[in-house]
Amino acid sequence: MAVEAAAVILAAGQGTRMRSSMAKVLHPVGGLPMVARVVANVKKAGLDSIYLVVGHQGDKVQAALPDIPCVVQEQQLGTGHAVDQCREVLAGFKGPVLVTYGDTPLFRPETLAGVVEYHNQQQAAATVITAHMEDPAGYGRIKRDAAGRVLGIVEQKDATAAEQLIQEINTGTYCFDGPLLFQYLQRITPDNAQAEYYLPDVLPLLIADGYSAAGFAVEDARESMGINDRVQLAEAEAILQERLRRHWMLQGVTMIDPTQVWLDDDCSIGQDTVLYPGVHVQAGTVIGRGCTIGPNVRLQGTAIGDGVTVEQAVLTEARVGSETTIGPFAYLRPGAVIGDRCRIGDFVEVKNSTVGDDTSAAHHIYLGDAHVGHGVNVGCGTITANYDGRVKSRTTIEDGAFIGSNSCLVAPVTIGSGAFVAAGSTITEDVPPEGLGIARGRQVNKESWTKRRSQGDPK
Protein backbone atom coordinates (compact mmCIF):
# COMPACT_ATOMS: atom_id res chain seq x y z
CA MET A 1 0.00 0.00 0.00
CA ALA A 2 1.19 3.49 -0.84
CA VAL A 3 2.42 5.65 2.04
CA GLU A 4 -0.20 8.15 3.11
CA ALA A 5 0.42 11.69 1.90
CA ALA A 6 1.39 14.61 4.10
CA ALA A 7 0.25 18.17 3.38
CA VAL A 8 2.00 21.53 3.54
CA ILE A 9 -0.16 24.65 3.49
CA LEU A 10 1.58 27.93 2.70
CA ALA A 11 0.19 30.86 4.66
CA ALA A 12 3.11 33.12 5.49
CA GLY A 13 2.28 35.98 3.15
CA GLN A 14 0.96 39.27 4.45
CA GLY A 15 -1.96 39.72 2.10
CA THR A 16 -1.41 43.47 1.79
CA ARG A 17 -4.18 43.86 -0.77
CA MET A 18 -6.81 42.89 1.78
CA ARG A 19 -6.07 46.20 3.53
CA SER A 20 -6.83 44.60 6.84
CA SER A 21 -5.40 44.48 10.33
CA MET A 22 -6.34 40.80 10.33
CA ALA A 23 -4.17 38.25 8.54
CA LYS A 24 -5.61 37.50 5.12
CA VAL A 25 -5.96 33.76 5.71
CA LEU A 26 -8.12 34.40 8.79
CA HIS A 27 -10.83 36.20 6.83
CA PRO A 28 -13.84 33.90 6.76
CA VAL A 29 -15.40 32.32 3.71
CA GLY A 30 -18.64 30.45 4.32
CA GLY A 31 -18.32 31.17 8.02
CA LEU A 32 -14.86 29.62 8.39
CA PRO A 33 -11.44 31.36 8.27
CA MET A 34 -10.15 30.58 4.78
CA VAL A 35 -7.09 28.73 6.08
CA ALA A 36 -9.31 26.61 8.36
CA ARG A 37 -11.38 25.77 5.30
CA VAL A 38 -8.24 24.71 3.44
CA VAL A 39 -7.30 22.50 6.40
CA ALA A 40 -10.82 21.03 6.44
CA ASN A 41 -10.67 20.32 2.69
CA VAL A 42 -7.29 18.63 3.06
CA LYS A 43 -8.61 16.51 5.95
CA LYS A 44 -11.70 15.56 3.95
CA ALA A 45 -9.33 14.49 1.16
CA GLY A 46 -8.04 11.94 3.66
CA LEU A 47 -4.75 13.58 4.70
CA ASP A 48 -4.10 13.78 8.42
CA SER A 49 -0.48 14.83 8.62
CA ILE A 50 -0.77 18.58 7.92
CA TYR A 51 1.76 21.39 8.42
CA LEU A 52 1.11 25.10 8.11
CA VAL A 53 3.86 27.50 7.07
CA VAL A 54 3.14 30.81 8.81
CA GLY A 55 4.83 34.20 8.95
CA HIS A 56 2.78 37.36 9.18
CA GLN A 57 0.59 37.13 12.31
CA GLY A 58 1.73 33.54 12.64
CA ASP A 59 0.70 33.41 16.29
CA LYS A 60 -2.86 34.36 15.39
CA VAL A 61 -3.03 31.80 12.61
CA GLN A 62 -1.71 29.16 15.01
CA ALA A 63 -4.28 30.22 17.63
CA ALA A 64 -7.06 29.77 15.08
CA LEU A 65 -5.86 26.22 14.35
CA PRO A 66 -4.40 24.94 17.60
CA ASP A 67 -4.31 21.31 16.43
CA ILE A 68 -2.28 21.96 13.29
CA PRO A 69 1.49 22.21 13.71
CA CYS A 70 2.83 25.51 12.40
CA VAL A 71 6.31 26.11 11.04
CA VAL A 72 7.49 29.71 10.98
CA GLN A 73 8.96 31.25 7.84
CA GLU A 74 10.63 34.37 9.23
CA GLN A 75 11.20 36.04 5.85
CA GLN A 76 9.02 35.45 2.81
CA LEU A 77 11.64 34.54 0.27
CA GLY A 78 9.32 32.66 -2.10
CA THR A 79 7.13 29.58 -2.33
CA GLY A 80 10.12 27.24 -2.63
CA HIS A 81 11.70 28.72 0.49
CA ALA A 82 8.35 28.43 2.28
CA VAL A 83 8.02 24.69 1.58
CA ASP A 84 11.66 24.21 2.58
CA GLN A 85 10.75 25.32 6.12
CA CYS A 86 9.15 21.90 6.52
CA ARG A 87 12.39 20.08 5.80
CA GLU A 88 12.89 19.15 9.46
CA VAL A 89 9.32 18.21 10.35
CA LEU A 90 9.14 16.00 7.27
CA ALA A 91 12.65 14.55 7.55
CA GLY A 92 12.43 10.81 7.06
CA PHE A 93 8.95 11.02 5.56
CA LYS A 94 8.90 8.80 2.51
CA GLY A 95 5.44 9.47 1.06
CA PRO A 96 3.97 12.08 -1.26
CA VAL A 97 3.58 15.68 -0.10
CA LEU A 98 0.61 17.78 -1.13
CA VAL A 99 1.44 21.49 -1.28
CA THR A 100 -1.36 24.04 -1.34
CA TYR A 101 -2.05 27.62 -0.20
CA GLY A 102 -3.97 28.99 2.76
CA ASP A 103 -5.71 31.47 0.47
CA THR A 104 -7.22 28.99 -2.03
CA PRO A 105 -10.19 27.64 -0.06
CA LEU A 106 -12.32 26.48 -3.00
CA PHE A 107 -10.48 23.30 -3.97
CA ARG A 108 -12.86 20.42 -3.49
CA PRO A 109 -11.62 17.59 -1.28
CA GLU A 110 -12.22 15.28 -4.28
CA THR A 111 -9.75 17.33 -6.35
CA LEU A 112 -7.08 17.25 -3.65
CA ALA A 113 -7.52 13.50 -3.19
CA GLY A 114 -7.54 13.21 -6.98
CA VAL A 115 -4.14 14.81 -7.52
CA VAL A 116 -2.53 12.54 -4.93
CA GLU A 117 -4.09 9.49 -6.54
CA TYR A 118 -3.09 10.57 -10.05
CA HIS A 119 0.44 11.33 -8.84
CA ASN A 120 0.74 7.82 -7.40
CA GLN A 121 -0.70 6.23 -10.54
CA GLN A 122 1.67 8.14 -12.81
CA GLN A 123 4.62 7.42 -10.52
CA ALA A 124 5.56 11.05 -11.08
CA ALA A 125 8.10 12.99 -9.05
CA ALA A 126 5.85 16.05 -9.19
CA THR A 127 2.23 16.52 -10.24
CA VAL A 128 0.79 20.00 -10.59
CA ILE A 129 -2.91 20.85 -10.61
CA THR A 130 -3.46 22.95 -13.71
CA ALA A 131 -6.43 24.96 -14.92
CA HIS A 132 -7.46 26.55 -18.18
CA MET A 133 -7.92 30.32 -17.88
CA GLU A 134 -9.38 32.64 -20.52
CA ASP A 135 -7.27 35.37 -18.97
CA PRO A 136 -4.16 33.74 -17.48
CA ALA A 137 -2.52 37.06 -16.51
CA GLY A 138 -0.60 36.87 -13.26
CA TYR A 139 -0.32 33.10 -13.11
CA GLY A 140 2.58 30.82 -13.80
CA ARG A 141 2.15 29.12 -17.20
CA ILE A 142 2.53 25.39 -17.79
CA LYS A 143 5.14 24.52 -20.39
CA ARG A 144 4.70 21.22 -22.20
CA ASP A 145 6.65 19.54 -24.98
CA ALA A 146 5.16 18.50 -28.32
CA ALA A 147 4.09 15.20 -26.77
CA GLY A 148 2.21 17.04 -24.02
CA ARG A 149 4.70 16.18 -21.26
CA VAL A 150 5.06 18.84 -18.56
CA LEU A 151 8.44 20.53 -18.79
CA GLY A 152 8.09 23.26 -16.20
CA ILE A 153 6.34 26.42 -15.13
CA VAL A 154 7.24 29.94 -16.13
CA GLU A 155 6.11 32.87 -14.01
CA GLN A 156 4.27 35.76 -15.65
CA LYS A 157 7.10 38.12 -14.82
CA ASP A 158 9.69 35.84 -16.41
CA ALA A 159 7.60 34.77 -19.42
CA THR A 160 8.33 35.64 -23.03
CA ALA A 161 5.54 37.11 -25.18
CA ALA A 162 4.91 33.65 -26.65
CA GLU A 163 4.79 32.01 -23.20
CA GLN A 164 2.31 34.63 -22.02
CA LEU A 165 -0.19 33.31 -24.57
CA ILE A 166 -0.33 29.92 -22.79
CA GLN A 167 -3.71 29.54 -21.10
CA GLU A 168 -2.90 26.50 -19.00
CA ILE A 169 -1.85 27.82 -15.61
CA ASN A 170 -0.29 26.59 -12.40
CA THR A 171 -2.96 26.61 -9.68
CA GLY A 172 -0.21 26.51 -7.04
CA THR A 173 -1.34 23.14 -5.68
CA TYR A 174 0.89 20.14 -6.28
CA CYS A 175 1.77 16.69 -5.16
CA PHE A 176 5.48 15.88 -4.85
CA ASP A 177 7.52 12.85 -4.00
CA GLY A 178 8.55 13.91 -0.48
CA PRO A 179 12.26 12.95 -0.41
CA LEU A 180 12.85 14.26 -3.97
CA LEU A 181 11.09 17.53 -3.14
CA PHE A 182 13.44 18.37 -0.29
CA GLN A 183 16.47 17.12 -2.17
CA TYR A 184 15.74 19.37 -5.16
CA LEU A 185 14.63 22.39 -3.10
CA GLN A 186 18.29 22.64 -2.10
CA ARG A 187 19.17 23.28 -5.71
CA ILE A 188 16.80 26.14 -6.66
CA THR A 189 18.12 29.70 -6.81
CA PRO A 190 16.45 33.12 -6.63
CA ASP A 191 17.78 33.90 -10.06
CA ASN A 192 14.58 35.39 -11.54
CA ALA A 193 12.58 38.59 -11.99
CA GLN A 194 11.31 38.57 -8.38
CA ALA A 195 14.56 37.34 -6.79
CA GLU A 196 12.54 34.63 -5.03
CA TYR A 197 12.97 30.93 -4.48
CA TYR A 198 10.27 29.58 -6.79
CA LEU A 199 8.79 26.21 -5.84
CA PRO A 200 7.96 25.35 -9.49
CA ASP A 201 11.67 25.58 -10.31
CA VAL A 202 12.17 22.07 -8.94
CA LEU A 203 10.22 20.69 -11.92
CA PRO A 204 12.81 21.24 -14.69
CA LEU A 205 15.59 20.08 -12.32
CA LEU A 206 13.73 16.83 -11.67
CA ILE A 207 13.01 16.35 -15.36
CA ALA A 208 16.66 16.98 -16.30
CA ASP A 209 17.59 14.12 -13.97
CA GLY A 210 15.14 11.78 -15.69
CA TYR A 211 12.19 12.05 -13.29
CA SER A 212 8.76 12.76 -14.69
CA ALA A 213 6.34 15.62 -13.97
CA ALA A 214 2.60 15.32 -14.52
CA GLY A 215 -0.28 17.77 -14.93
CA PHE A 216 -3.65 17.14 -13.31
CA ALA A 217 -6.19 19.46 -14.94
CA VAL A 218 -9.10 20.69 -12.85
CA GLU A 219 -12.33 21.02 -14.83
CA ASP A 220 -13.75 24.06 -13.07
CA ALA A 221 -10.99 26.66 -12.91
CA ARG A 222 -12.89 28.50 -10.18
CA GLU A 223 -11.78 25.81 -7.71
CA SER A 224 -8.27 27.17 -7.85
CA MET A 225 -9.28 30.75 -7.19
CA GLY A 226 -6.93 32.51 -4.81
CA ILE A 227 -8.11 35.35 -2.60
CA ASN A 228 -5.97 38.46 -2.59
CA ASP A 229 -8.44 41.28 -1.96
CA ARG A 230 -11.98 41.80 -0.70
CA VAL A 231 -13.47 41.70 -4.18
CA GLN A 232 -12.10 38.17 -4.61
CA LEU A 233 -13.23 37.36 -1.08
CA ALA A 234 -16.81 38.19 -2.08
CA GLU A 235 -16.44 36.23 -5.34
CA ALA A 236 -15.20 33.18 -3.45
CA GLU A 237 -18.08 33.48 -0.99
CA ALA A 238 -20.54 33.60 -3.90
CA ILE A 239 -19.04 30.46 -5.46
CA LEU A 240 -19.16 28.63 -2.15
CA GLN A 241 -22.72 29.74 -1.44
CA GLU A 242 -23.81 28.57 -4.88
CA ARG A 243 -22.36 25.13 -4.14
CA LEU A 244 -24.01 24.88 -0.72
CA ARG A 245 -27.41 26.06 -1.99
CA ARG A 246 -27.27 23.62 -4.84
CA HIS A 247 -26.41 20.81 -2.47
CA TRP A 248 -29.37 21.51 -0.16
CA MET A 249 -31.85 22.17 -2.98
CA LEU A 250 -30.95 18.78 -4.43
CA GLN A 251 -31.59 17.32 -0.96
CA GLY A 252 -35.18 18.60 -1.10
CA VAL A 253 -35.01 22.10 0.38
CA THR A 254 -36.99 24.86 -1.37
CA MET A 255 -35.37 28.29 -1.62
CA ILE A 256 -37.72 31.00 -2.85
CA ASP A 257 -34.72 33.06 -3.97
CA PRO A 258 -31.48 31.10 -3.55
CA THR A 259 -29.35 34.22 -3.95
CA GLN A 260 -30.81 35.51 -0.69
CA VAL A 261 -30.08 32.45 1.41
CA TRP A 262 -26.70 32.20 3.15
CA LEU A 263 -25.41 28.90 4.41
CA ASP A 264 -22.45 27.75 6.45
CA ASP A 265 -21.26 24.29 5.55
CA ASP A 266 -21.62 22.94 9.05
CA CYS A 267 -25.43 22.89 8.99
CA SER A 268 -28.22 20.57 7.95
CA ILE A 269 -31.69 21.23 6.55
CA GLY A 270 -34.53 18.71 6.31
CA GLN A 271 -36.58 17.78 3.29
CA ASP A 272 -39.54 19.99 2.30
CA THR A 273 -38.32 22.87 4.39
CA VAL A 274 -38.86 26.22 2.68
CA LEU A 275 -36.33 29.03 3.09
CA TYR A 276 -37.56 32.54 2.34
CA PRO A 277 -35.25 35.43 1.43
CA GLY A 278 -32.92 36.79 4.06
CA VAL A 279 -32.28 33.50 5.84
CA HIS A 280 -28.80 32.91 7.26
CA VAL A 281 -28.20 29.37 8.45
CA GLN A 282 -24.98 29.50 10.43
CA ALA A 283 -22.61 26.89 11.80
CA GLY A 284 -24.00 24.12 13.96
CA THR A 285 -27.61 24.63 12.94
CA VAL A 286 -29.89 21.67 12.30
CA ILE A 287 -33.33 22.32 10.78
CA GLY A 288 -35.93 19.53 10.58
CA ARG A 289 -38.36 18.64 7.83
CA GLY A 290 -41.28 20.68 6.57
CA CYS A 291 -40.28 23.91 8.28
CA THR A 292 -40.95 27.41 6.99
CA ILE A 293 -38.01 29.69 7.77
CA GLY A 294 -37.90 33.40 7.00
CA PRO A 295 -38.05 35.94 5.66
CA ASN A 296 -35.15 37.47 7.59
CA VAL A 297 -34.05 34.86 10.05
CA ARG A 298 -30.59 34.18 11.44
CA LEU A 299 -29.99 30.80 13.01
CA GLN A 300 -26.72 30.02 14.74
CA GLY A 301 -25.93 26.77 16.53
CA THR A 302 -29.65 26.11 16.79
CA ALA A 303 -31.63 22.88 16.53
CA ILE A 304 -35.14 23.07 15.12
CA GLY A 305 -37.64 20.18 14.95
CA ASP A 306 -40.11 19.39 12.18
CA GLY A 307 -42.95 21.59 10.95
CA VAL A 308 -41.65 24.72 12.67
CA THR A 309 -42.34 28.25 11.44
CA VAL A 310 -39.75 30.94 12.15
CA GLU A 311 -40.24 34.45 10.81
CA GLN A 312 -38.16 37.61 11.30
CA ALA A 313 -36.15 36.20 14.18
CA VAL A 314 -32.67 35.64 15.57
CA LEU A 315 -31.95 32.31 17.25
CA THR A 316 -28.55 31.62 18.76
CA GLU A 317 -27.69 28.34 20.48
CA ALA A 318 -31.37 27.60 21.01
CA ARG A 319 -33.48 24.46 20.66
CA VAL A 320 -37.00 24.41 19.30
CA GLY A 321 -39.36 21.41 19.29
CA SER A 322 -41.70 20.44 16.47
CA GLU A 323 -44.81 22.27 15.21
CA THR A 324 -43.83 25.41 17.11
CA THR A 325 -44.07 28.93 15.71
CA ILE A 326 -41.41 31.54 16.43
CA GLY A 327 -41.85 35.22 15.64
CA PRO A 328 -42.30 37.45 13.85
CA PHE A 329 -39.65 39.46 15.67
CA ALA A 330 -38.54 36.99 18.31
CA TYR A 331 -35.09 36.63 19.87
CA LEU A 332 -34.02 33.27 21.24
CA ARG A 333 -30.70 33.48 23.03
CA PRO A 334 -28.34 30.75 24.24
CA GLY A 335 -30.02 28.18 26.42
CA ALA A 336 -33.54 28.83 25.15
CA VAL A 337 -35.19 25.41 24.91
CA ILE A 338 -38.71 25.52 23.50
CA GLY A 339 -41.05 22.52 23.41
CA ASP A 340 -43.45 21.21 20.79
CA ARG A 341 -46.53 23.12 19.56
CA CYS A 342 -45.52 26.31 21.35
CA ARG A 343 -46.15 29.83 20.24
CA ILE A 344 -43.33 32.29 20.78
CA GLY A 345 -44.71 35.39 19.17
CA ASP A 346 -43.73 38.94 18.39
CA PHE A 347 -41.19 40.82 20.51
CA VAL A 348 -40.56 37.86 22.76
CA GLU A 349 -37.05 37.30 24.10
CA VAL A 350 -36.07 34.03 25.73
CA LYS A 351 -32.71 33.41 27.39
CA ASN A 352 -31.45 30.38 29.31
CA SER A 353 -35.00 29.16 29.84
CA THR A 354 -36.97 26.03 29.13
CA VAL A 355 -40.51 26.30 27.84
CA GLY A 356 -42.70 23.18 27.96
CA ASP A 357 -44.95 21.82 25.21
CA ASP A 358 -48.16 23.65 24.22
CA THR A 359 -47.15 26.84 25.97
CA SER A 360 -47.97 30.24 24.54
CA ALA A 361 -45.92 33.38 24.98
CA ALA A 362 -47.47 35.39 22.22
CA HIS A 363 -46.42 39.01 22.54
CA HIS A 364 -43.96 41.35 24.24
CA ILE A 365 -42.43 39.03 26.80
CA TYR A 366 -39.05 38.51 28.45
CA LEU A 367 -38.28 35.08 29.84
CA GLY A 368 -34.80 34.91 31.37
CA ASP A 369 -33.49 32.12 33.62
CA ALA A 370 -36.98 30.65 33.79
CA HIS A 371 -38.50 27.23 33.77
CA VAL A 372 -41.93 27.34 32.19
CA GLY A 373 -44.02 24.17 32.24
CA HIS A 374 -46.36 22.88 29.57
CA GLY A 375 -49.74 24.30 28.72
CA VAL A 376 -48.83 27.68 30.24
CA ASN A 377 -50.25 30.96 28.98
CA VAL A 378 -47.82 33.82 29.44
CA GLY A 379 -49.71 37.06 28.93
CA CYS A 380 -48.63 40.04 26.90
CA GLY A 381 -46.04 42.21 28.60
CA THR A 382 -44.90 39.61 31.14
CA ILE A 383 -41.37 39.98 32.43
CA THR A 384 -39.22 37.74 34.58
CA ALA A 385 -37.19 40.14 36.70
CA ASN A 386 -34.19 37.82 36.94
CA TYR A 387 -31.44 40.26 37.89
CA ASP A 388 -31.16 42.37 41.02
CA GLY A 389 -27.96 44.06 39.91
CA ARG A 390 -25.80 41.41 41.57
CA VAL A 391 -27.11 37.92 40.96
CA LYS A 392 -29.38 36.21 38.48
CA SER A 393 -32.30 34.25 39.98
CA ARG A 394 -34.69 31.74 38.53
CA THR A 395 -38.42 31.92 37.94
CA THR A 396 -40.51 28.75 37.83
CA ILE A 397 -43.93 28.71 36.22
CA GLU A 398 -45.48 25.29 36.66
CA ASP A 399 -47.73 23.40 34.25
CA GLY A 400 -51.03 24.96 33.24
CA ALA A 401 -50.45 28.29 34.99
CA PHE A 402 -51.93 31.48 33.55
CA ILE A 403 -49.92 34.69 33.79
CA GLY A 404 -52.05 37.78 33.24
CA SER A 405 -50.83 40.60 31.04
CA ASN A 406 -48.18 43.00 32.16
CA SER A 407 -47.05 40.95 35.12
CA CYS A 408 -43.63 41.30 36.64
CA LEU A 409 -42.38 38.08 38.21
CA VAL A 410 -39.57 39.05 40.57
CA ALA A 411 -37.18 36.08 40.84
CA PRO A 412 -36.60 33.86 42.70
CA VAL A 413 -40.28 33.02 42.61
CA THR A 414 -42.53 30.07 41.75
CA ILE A 415 -46.01 30.16 40.24
CA GLY A 416 -47.67 26.84 41.16
CA SER A 417 -49.36 24.55 38.68
CA GLY A 418 -52.73 25.75 37.45
CA ALA A 419 -52.33 29.04 39.36
CA PHE A 420 -53.38 32.44 38.08
CA VAL A 421 -51.54 35.73 38.25
CA ALA A 422 -53.79 38.73 37.92
CA ALA A 423 -52.94 41.15 35.12
CA GLY A 424 -50.66 43.98 36.16
CA SER A 425 -49.27 42.19 39.22
CA THR A 426 -45.76 42.50 40.55
CA ILE A 427 -45.25 39.07 42.06
CA THR A 428 -42.58 38.82 44.75
CA GLU A 429 -43.87 35.77 46.63
CA ASP A 430 -44.70 32.26 45.46
CA VAL A 431 -48.25 31.66 44.26
CA PRO A 432 -49.58 28.25 45.41
CA PRO A 433 -50.90 25.72 42.91
CA GLU A 434 -54.46 26.51 41.78
CA GLY A 435 -54.24 29.85 43.65
CA LEU A 436 -54.57 33.43 42.44
CA GLY A 437 -51.76 35.90 42.92
CA ILE A 438 -52.83 39.52 42.73
CA ALA A 439 -50.35 42.24 43.62
CA ARG A 440 -51.26 45.72 42.51
CA GLY A 441 -52.61 48.96 43.97
CA ARG A 442 -56.37 49.20 44.21
CA GLN A 443 -58.07 51.57 41.81
CA VAL A 444 -59.63 54.73 43.22
CA ASN A 445 -62.16 56.64 41.12
CA LYS A 446 -62.67 60.32 41.92
CA GLU A 447 -66.09 61.51 40.78
CA SER A 448 -66.33 64.78 38.80
CA TRP A 449 -62.59 65.31 39.14
CA THR A 450 -61.99 67.22 35.89
CA LYS A 451 -64.76 69.64 36.73
CA ARG A 452 -63.32 70.33 40.19
CA ARG A 453 -59.84 70.80 38.69
CA SER A 454 -61.11 73.46 36.31
CA GLN A 455 -62.65 75.22 39.32
CA GLY A 456 -59.22 75.29 40.99
CA ASP A 457 -59.68 72.35 43.36
CA PRO A 458 -57.83 69.35 41.85
CA LYS A 459 -58.26 67.05 44.90
Catalytic residue annotation: 363
Query: Which of ligand UD1, Ca ion, none interacts with 198 (beta carbon under 5 to 8 A by kind)?
Result: ligand UD1
Name the minimum Å distance from CB 139 to ligand UD1.
4
Name the minimum Å distance from CB 241 to ligand UD1.
22
Do residues 109 and 116 touch, judged by C-beta distance below 8 A? no
Within 8 A by CB and 6+ apart from 272, the residues are 252, 253, 254, 289, 290
Which positions lie near ligand UD1, rule CB under 6 A? 10-13, 53, 73, 76-79, 81-82, 101-103, 139-140, 153, 155, 169-172, 198-200, 226
Q: Which amino acid is at 229?
A: D
Do residues 140 and 154 touch, judged by C-beta distance below 8 A? yes
Per CB under 5 A, 226 contacts Ca ion: yes
Name the minimum Å distance from CB 364 to Ca ion.
53
Using CB atoms within 10 A of its CB, is residue 341 exposed (0-12), middle (13-18) or buried (19+)?
A: middle
Per CB under 5 A, 435 contacts Ca ion: no
Total interface residues for Ca ion by CB under 5 A: 1
Give the C-alpha separation, 339 to 322, whole Å: 7
Q: Which stretch binds Ca ion (CB under 5 A): 122-130, 224-232, 332-340, 419-427?
A: 224-232
Query: Which of Ca ion, ligand UD1, none interacts with 12 (beta carbon under 5 to 8 A by kind)?
Result: ligand UD1
Instruction: Tell me whether residue 13 or residue 356 sits nearer to Ca ion (CB atom).
Output: 13
Name the minimum Å distance from CB 55 to ligand UD1.
6
Name the minimum Å distance from CB 120 to Ca ion.
27
Name the minimum Å distance from CB 119 to ligand UD1.
18
Pairing mode, strands 126-132 and 168-177: antiparallel
Instruction: Tell me whether residue 101 or residue 248 sits nearer to ligand UD1 (CB atom).
Output: 101
Do residues 354 and 374 touch, judged by C-beta distance below 8 A? no
Q: Which amino acid is at 313?
A: A
Query: Which of Ca ion, ligand UD1, none interacts with 139 (beta carbon under 5 to 8 A by kind)?
Result: ligand UD1
Q: Which amino acid is at 189?
A: T
Instruction: Please state whether 172 falls in left (phi above 0), alpha (psi between -120 and 50) or beta.
Output: left
Give the C-alpha separation, 62 to 173, whole Å: 22
> By rule CB under 5 A, what string of x and - marks binding of each residue 180-219 to Ca ion?
----------------------------------------
Instruction: Tell me whether residue 130 or residue 382 sits nearer to ligand UD1 (CB atom).
Output: 130
Per CB under 5 A, 76 contacts Ca ion: no
Instruction: Tell me whether residue 41 or residue 171 sits nearer to ligand UD1 (CB atom).
Output: 171
Query: Which of Ca ion, ligand UD1, none interacts with 77 (beta carbon under 5 to 8 A by kind)?
Result: ligand UD1
Instruction: Tell me whether residue 188 or residue 330 sits nearer to ligand UD1 (CB atom).
Output: 188
Q: What angle do CA 384, 387, 391 make, to 5 degrees?
A: 140
Instruction: Tell me whether residue 135 or residue 447 sits nearer to ligand UD1 (CB atom).
Output: 135
Backbone angles phi, psi at 321, to 5 degrees: -75, -165
Name the minimum Å distance from CB 235 to ligand UD1.
15
Smallest CA-to-CA distance from 54 within 12, 7, 16 is with 12
Query: Which of Ca ion, ligand UD1, none interacts with 262 (beta carbon under 5 to 8 A by kind)?
Result: none
Query: Which of ligand UD1, Ca ion, none interacts with 327 (beta carbon under 5 to 8 A by kind)?
Result: none
Give the C-alpha separation, 172 to 404, whole Å: 67
Q: Which residue is nearest to ligand UD1 (CB)?
A: 140
Q: Which residue is nearest to Ca ion (CB)?
A: 226
| Rounded (10°) angle between helices 109-122 and 34-44 | 50
Alpha-carbon distances of 179 from 186, 359, 384, rounded to whole Å: 12, 66, 67
Name the minimum Å distance from CB 100 to ligand UD1.
9
Instruction: Tell me whether residue 226 or residue 277 sits nearer to Ca ion (CB atom).
Output: 226
Give the C-alpha separation, 66 to 61, whole Å: 9
Smallest CA-to-CA distance from 170 within 152, 190, 195, 149 is with 152
Give the C-alpha separation, 211 to 126, whole Å: 9
Instruction: Tell me whether residue 200 or residue 368 sits nearer to ligand UD1 (CB atom).
Output: 200
Q: Which stretch binds Ca ion (CB under 5 A): 123-131, 223-231, 286-294, 333-341?
A: 223-231
Do residues 280 and 295 touch, judged by C-beta distance below 8 A? no
Query: Which residues sit at the interface with Ca ion, rule CB under 5 A?
Result: 226
